[in-house]
Every structure is written in C-alpha cells, then in structure tokens.
Amino acid sequence: MTRIRFVPRSLSRPAIVLLGLAFLVFASGCSFTEIFALHGPQSTYHTGGPVAQKQWDLFMVTVYVTAFIFVVVGSVLAYATIKFRAKSEADEHFEAPQGHGNPLVEIGLIVGSVLLLVIIAIPTLEGIWYTHDVPEAEKGLAMDVTATAYQWWFKFEYPSLKVKGIAGETPLATGNELVVPAGVPVRVQLRTVDVIHSFWIPKLAGKVDMIPNRGNFLWFKADQPGYFYGQCAEYCGDSHAIMRFRVIALAQDDFKKWVENQMAPARNVTAEAAATLPHAQFANYTEGTGPGSVLAGSAEFDADPFAAWKRKQLVPSDENAAQIAAGRKLFSEKTCISCHTIRGHEGIGITGPELTHVGARSTIAAGVLENNPHRMSQWIHDPTAFKPGNKMFNGGYIDVQTGQRKFTLNDDEIAALVAYLQSLK
C-alpha cells in the first residue's frame, strides 16, 4: 500500500505559480493568437479557407479540453499542496492515515476521462470526413491540379487546360506558383518523382505526404483573393527547408485573364539581334548570400507580396530588346534548353521548372528569392549558394566526371539571360 506523507513546504510554490499562469492566460480576455503572438506568413492560426478553418476548430477543441484538465488537476494539486503541506519539521516525518481510496471518485475519474475523449473524438471524425475530399455539394465545381515534387521545387499542372507544344498537347504547367480562383474548391493530386515530400499550405490546408509510386491528394479553397505561402514539410535532402511554393488566389475574372495569358506561348520582343552583348545591368553579386541571409524579399515585397505579384504581370516600359535577343540566343547556346521548357521558343527540358512565363512569377529558386533582376543575377551566377545540392548547379554547371565547371558565364552574359527571362511575362 502506498504511504502518504505531508508535502514539504518548498513544493507549494511551483503549483501556485502554474495555477496563476493558467489563470492569467485564460482570464485575460485576449484571443489565443494575441496571447502568444502567433502571426506570420505561414501561421496556422490565421486561416484563409474552410479546410484550414476546420482543422483550426478541431485544434481549439483539443486546447479547451486539455486546458480544462490542466486547470482541474492543477487546482486539486495546488489545494492539496497548500492544505496538507508540512507546518513544521516534525510534520515532514508524520505519516497520514492510509486508505484504499474512494470508489465513487475513481469511477467518476474514469467516466470523466471517457467523456472528455468523446468530446474530442466527435469533431475529429467530422474533420477527417470533411477534409478528406471536396464536399458532395461542391464536387461539380472543383478544379483539378496535379502537384509534382522534385528535389527541390514543385511543378503544378492543370489537366483541363491543354497547351500546344513540340510534344503535342500537354497540360498547362507552372513552377512553384499555383494560381487558383478564389471561392472554388481545388483538388490537388500529389505526386513525387524522387523521395518522399510533403505538401503544406498552412493557411489553406494541412500537410499531406507525396510518396513515390503512390497517389495521394488533398483539397482546399481560398475564401478570398490573396497570396499564401506553402512549403515541403517532410525532410527530403539538403535543401528541404527552402523547398517552398506560393498559392495565389484570384477573383474569377482575374483568374480567367491569367489563364488566357498562360495559355499563350512565350513573348517575342522584336529587335535586330545584337552584334555584341550589351554591358551588364544587373550584376551585383554580394558575398555571403547563402540561404540564411536571403529568405526574404525586399521590404516592399514583404509588406504586400500579393501586390508585388500583380506588378510582375505588367510589361516594363524600359526593356532592352537587343539584350533580350542576346539572352534568348545564350539560353540555347548554354544548354539551358536541355532542362527547361519555354513554349514558342527553344527548350523542351523537363528536369527544371517551365519558364514560359517566368517573368510574371513573384519568386524564383522555389520561393527562396524574390523574382527581380538582381536576385535572378545572383541565382544564375551561383545557384548552390542559395539552394545547396540543386540540380541546376550540379547538372548544368559541373562536370560530374571531373568536378569542374562545364561552362562559365560572365557578367554581361548573365545580364542578357536575366533580361530575356524577365521579359517572359
């Protein structure tokens, strides 16, 4: 039989502190997110769609139940600690009368525990059923998208939107930016070509794994137009932490305009080819530009990335046609076409993202860098500085047999390539 002694006086303070902290948190009148300052572009506490909202509601049910348990158990512990603490040195060695327990209390604890589990289980089952697939009433409205994970970027295809290319009709494809209509359910088929990845859009839907040789899927819906951050949530190699993507939700009319533009082949900027490469305009490489220092864009971009994305859809008025023509020629000469596709221009590669309209995207390098001329120059100059182990550097820049660079690009060539890629709106 267990022996019960008086609790030493020194143990009363921690219990009182815990109880006081719980009281301050739950009686302060502030919301959960305000208390803990749970904000940020990938915060799961600020939902933007019904799937994420359902998951948030379930989370809060669990929080309330466990908070209730904590308060009750903490209160009993504090009460027992204070009431039965040792009042003197002699009390610390006093043994209280021993008993076998109260059957009503024990049965009550079992029934209460089961009841609390049922309170959590009911919304859990409801949430699993709801988030599994698009609700029956909305299935006819759902749009299908295929997301394919590579080390370390995402390819998005729209099976219902066919474009004509060298290989015939293929689904419209984009890289690292999934554009969808707001208010419309989107069913995403999840695939991977290499290792296990995980698809996660914190404000729209939870994590679902992308497993080799196994189809998986999820669905989400954005309540309002907006710009949502996503990333791989399963360790998948050197650059797992910076394998990111974006979801851009547009109003119905804006989405139709976007689709119309994406279905068109790449832009042609007419001008006579330059005899020599123009002087570099964008080369400005800085030391120490690794992943730890470049995971954010400019202050203007970070303040309103949705507005920045909209600006990227516009054609700049100061394009250098001769430089763009030189860049297009280099894109072919430097074998970029072996990994990338630009519909209507050169290139039928599938190893890297499709670049037909890369100039209209808000980020490059799978969401690591803001898509502007300066960052694109740095990326082309040394991609492994931003995304260690990426195939662009290892496959296109390095000879795997000798370990030496296959080819080099000077500042003027990089500037021409940047001008060409930025023109692809």
Q: Which two tokens stand for residue 346?
A: 């050169």
What pLDDT shows up at residue 166?
66
Q: Radius of gyration (Cα) for the chain, nearest Å?
A: 29
Position 184: which residue type? V
Between residues 84 and 220, the one the model is more confident about: 220
Q: Is the pLDDT of residue 336 over 80?
A: yes
Residue pair 51/221 in contact by the 8 Å Cβ criterion: yes
What pLDDT shows up at residue 290?
42
Q: Is the pLDDT of residue 69 over 80?
A: yes
Q: Could you tell me the pLDDT band of residue 169, with boundaries at 50, 70 and 90?
A: confident
What is the tens place of the pLDDT at every residue in 121-156? 999 999 999 999 999 888 889 999 999 999 999 999
What pLDDT shows up at residue 17?
57
What is the tens place of the pLDDT at every residue in 229-247? 999 999 999 899 999 999 9
Residue pair 222/247 in contact by the 8 Å Cβ criterion: yes
The total number of residues shown for the chain amounts to 425
What pLDDT shows up at residue 275?
39
- What is the model's pTM? 0.81
Q: Could you tell me the pLDDT band of residue 174, with boundaries at 50, 70 and 90?
A: very high
The strand pairing partners of 230, in sequence order, are: 245
Residue 407: partners with Cβ closer than 8 Å, 6 or more residues away: 334, 335, 397
Residue pair 110/44 in contact by the 8 Å Cβ criterion: no
3-state secondary structure of 370: strand
* Mean pLDDT for all residues in the chain: 83
Q: Could you tell me the pLDDT band of residue 402, with boundaries at 50, 70 and 90?
A: confident
d(CA 290, CA 168): 40
Highest mean pLDDT pick, 78-82, 161-165, 223-227 = 223-227
What is the tens place of the pLDDT at every residue in 274-320? 434 444 444 443 433 444 444 556 777 888 899 999 999 988 878 88
What pLDDT shows up at residue 38?
67
What is the tens place of the pLDDT at every residue in 31-65? 555 555 567 788 888 899 999 999 999 999 999 99
